[in-house]
Structure 1
């Protein structure tokens, strides 16, 4: 190894600042960018990295961990005796069964494929169950093993080219369902596997809606991998938007909705970059697309609809670290109109982030309680919610510490 190579922060007992520098460098993030994300100066970041300042308090450590997308807090602190997952939640009890099916390599026709209409009905029922269940991962995890096997069999056993394309469209969406189950679990390789398989199946299907859904999820996987993957997320998003735009004049509501969902994803990534103009520009175009849909329409995969645009506005403001604007958008959004329980919980978490940015920690905790009531599994696997709760367990106010500790126990961060 050359003398100027970045050291591995997990082989030697490095100081906090050294670990922060190594992780920042690996994420391709400059000091000014990290400083902006945590509300400090680039000089402060440099002094921490060089050990000229003491290790920050837990509140700041959690914000640094969030900015660097650190999955386990011990990666940053070096304290292996107290591992704390942030952006990767606990492994679900149904994960081994789902993983076994994804990792399998079926070559023989050992099971007869169900009729295509049967698979489509199961798919509609699965999405409906996901949106209505508070423990949605448990519901999906129960369905996925047999569903993946049956959808794979249908694609292999199709007797004609049109049947094969239709089966591939269903298979692509089953993989999309699997991505919702796998997200933020400690098996990132599985997530990428189904994302790529979903994209291949969608392309084989030649179905615009299936292609749009697969691209929507693939772009999210790239973005969540960190700033160094934002360009890849944009490439997937914009290429698919160009493909779908040509089809919109004669397209269905579902095609319009997935195009609108992708347009918002472009804004989401722009907000992560800190590009305010592009972020709100994409959001506004997505909003206009949403208003072309029927008032009662709700996309079963992405939740794109008129009802979701207020929640999307909160997300843009939060990702831009605009606390006051986040709170203003939260007041304008109507969470009750979001029919999906996990999506409603996700919106509550985004609201809580806005309150935290705006210096309203009591409101943030109260909003996270609402998220837990809507869908406990959503908050249990959400890194932003976990960070806020952990931060508030160190609050000066005894009442806030008590409320935060109670919520931390309920979502599994602290033992009862």
Structure 2
């Protein structure tokens, strides 16, 4: 290997500090910035990276892993006995069946496809089940294979251009539901295949709502792939908003809602970048859009609504690592009711991150318990929740350590 080549962080010989430096540089983060996020000095980061001082304890390692978006702790520590994937949950038992339906895409069939109206009713029931069931991945995973095959068949058997466009809109939304199921599971190639097929079907449908939803999910897929993909996330969001904005004056509530959801996504990405003003500016735009919707309106896919904006404010503050502000936003947001169980659990996780940032780990664990009550599968597959729980299993206080260990067992992170 040339002397100036970048070391391979997966090689066992590379020390923790070197691995930390490699991942920090790959993310494009300076030592002072990382130090600020960790409440440490610039010299502390340098001393760790150069091996002058010993690697930190597990709670600090977990914080570093989150900031640098290192998915497997073993990749950061070099300890192959510490394989813990922080941002990917376990493979769901129904993942193989969903993958098979996506991959099959048969070109011929001796059966008649269900009507678009029939598929729409089934899809609506599936969305309702996702929002109401605590084990939503299990419920959706059972429904998806047949929905995928029937929606694919409907697009091929459509008799007219209008029928084909309507079928493509339904197929696009089936792929959107599939993306929710596949997210944070160990098959990123399948996730991207679904996202791309959803976008193609949405464009073929020429339906503004379908296009907006597909763009919203594609932007999320880019952003969750790491900082190198933030520009791609912004590009998708910007183009989708440019397409939707001329159509908003006379649009249905659902089209206005997806535009608001996209505005928040732009703010979310900006917050991940650490762009304070831009992030809150986009949140303000989304909040104004939400106010144009009926007070009781709730978008069935994105959960965008007036009620969700408080939860979105918590997310922005947390991503900006504003501990006090995130807790203040959490207190305000808790006054509203989020209808969807998984979205309510996701909000609880964001609240837990806020309390952890603010130095309130006991409250963070209590909040994660509430998230687990709302939707256990949401917590099980969420990297941030897993990181907080693992961190607190190393707490000095016996009671906190016990609570964290109990929750880690529930999440499958520790053996019972």
TM range (shorter): over 0.9
* 1:22-43 Cα distance to aligned partner (Å, 9 max, x none): 2233334333343333333343
Aligned equivalent of 2:226: 226
Equivalence for 2:381: 381
Q: How far 1:105 sits from its partner (Å)?
A: 3.9
Q: Find the residue that maps to 2:249 and give its secondary structure.
A: helix
Is 1:341 the counterpart of 2:341? The answer is yes
For 2:41 and 2:107, how far apart are their aligned partners in 1? 57
The 1-side partners of 2:334 and 2:398 are apart by 32
CA distance in 2, matches of 1:382, 1:212: 25
Could you tell me whether the CA contact under 8 Å between 1:311 and 1:335 is conserved in 2? no
Q: Distance in 2 between matches of 1:41 and 1:154?
A: 60
- Residue in 2 aligned with 1:274? 274
Matched, 1:11 2:21: no
Secondary structure in structure 2 of the residue aligned to 1:249: coil
Alignment partners' CA distance in 2, 1:11 and 1:361: 34
> What SS does the corresponding residue of 1:302 show, helix, strand or coil?
coil
Partner in structure 2 of residue 354 of structure 1: 354
Q: Contact between 1:290 and 1:306, CA under 8 Å: does it hold in 2? A: yes
1:304 matched to 2:310: no
Map of 1:88 onto structure 2: 88
The two structures have a TM-score, normalised by structure 1, of 0.97
Q: Offset of 1:395 from its aligned partner?
A: 0.9
> What whole-Å deviation, never above 9, does each CA across 1:302-327 have from its counterpart, x for those lacking one?
00001101101111111111111111
**Partners of 1:188 and 1:40 in 2: how far apart?**
34
Q: Say which is worse superposed, 120-129 or 334-343, in terms of deviation.
A: 334-343
Secondary structure, aligned partner of 1:250: coil
- Supply the distance in 1 between the matched residues of 2:207 and 2:308 (Cα, whole angstroms): 25
- Aligned partners of 1:335 and 1:115: how far apart in 2? 42
Q: Distance in 2 between matches of 1:91 and 1:208?
A: 33
Task: Measure, in 1, the Cα distance between the counterparts of 2:17 and 2:74.
Answer: 13
Q: With structure 2 as the length reference, what TM-score do the two structures score? A: 0.97
Report the CA distance shift for 1:32/1:106 in structure 2 as closer, same or farther (over 3 A): farther
| Cα distance between partner residues in 2 of 1:36 and 1:119 | 51
Deviations 1:231-262 (A, max 9, x none): 11111111111111111001110000000000
Moved more, 339-348 or 65-74: 65-74
> Which ranges in structure 2 are unaligned for 5 or more consecutive residues?
none
Question: Any gaps of 5 or more consecutive residues in structure 1?
Answer: none
Q: CA RMSD in A?
A: 1.3
1-structure distance, mates of 2:345, 2:202: 29
Q: Distance in 2 between matches of 1:324 and 1:158?
A: 55
Q: Which residue of 2 aligns with 1:41?
A: 41
CA contact (8 A) 2:307 2:336 kept: no
Give the deviation of 1:52 after TM superposition.
1.6
Query: 1:111 touches 1:153 (CA, 8 Å); kept in 2?
Result: no
1:137-187 alpha-carbon deviations (Å, 9 max, x no partner): 001110111111111111111111111111111111111001100111111
- Kept in 2, the 8 Å contact 1:19–1:77? The answer is yes
Contact 1:132 1:341 in 2 (8 A): yes
Q: Does the aligned pair in 1 maintain the 2:179–2:194 contact within 8 Å?
A: yes
Give distance in 2, aligned partners of 1:388 and 1:110. Answer: 52
The 8 Å contact of residues 409 and 415 in structure 2, kept in 1 or not, is answered as yes
Task: Quote how far apart the aligned CAs of 1:336 are.
Answer: 5.5
Aligned to 1:394: 394
Q: Which moved more, 1:140-149 or 1:47-56?
A: 47-56
CA distance in 2, matches of 1:359, 1:334: 19
Q: Tell me the distance in 2 between the aligned counterparts of 1:33 and 1:150.
A: 50
Moved more, 18-27 or 301-310: 18-27
User: Matches of residues 17-36 of structure 1 in structure 2 within 5 Å?
Assistant: 17-36=17-36
How many residues end up aligned between the 2 structures? 416
Query: Taking structure 1 as reference, are residues 44 and 376 closer, same or farther at Cα in structure 2, changes over 3 Å only?
Result: same
Contact 2:12-2:78 within 8 A present in 1 as well: no
State whether residues 105 and 149 of structure 2, in contact with CA within 8 Å, keep that contact through their aligned partners in structure 1.
no
Corresponding residue number in structure 2 for 1:240: 240
Does 260-269 or 16-25 show the bigger shift? 16-25
Q: How does 1:173-322 map to 2 (within 5 A)?
A: 173-322=173-322
Q: Give the equivalent residue in structure 2 for 1:163.
A: 163
Q: Distance in 1 between matches of 2:106 and 2:70?
A: 36
Check 1:32–1:191 CA distance in 2 against 1; reply closer, same or farther (3 A cut).
farther
Q: How does 1:124-163 map to 2 (within 5 A)?
A: 124-163=124-163
Paired residue for 1:107?
Answer: 107
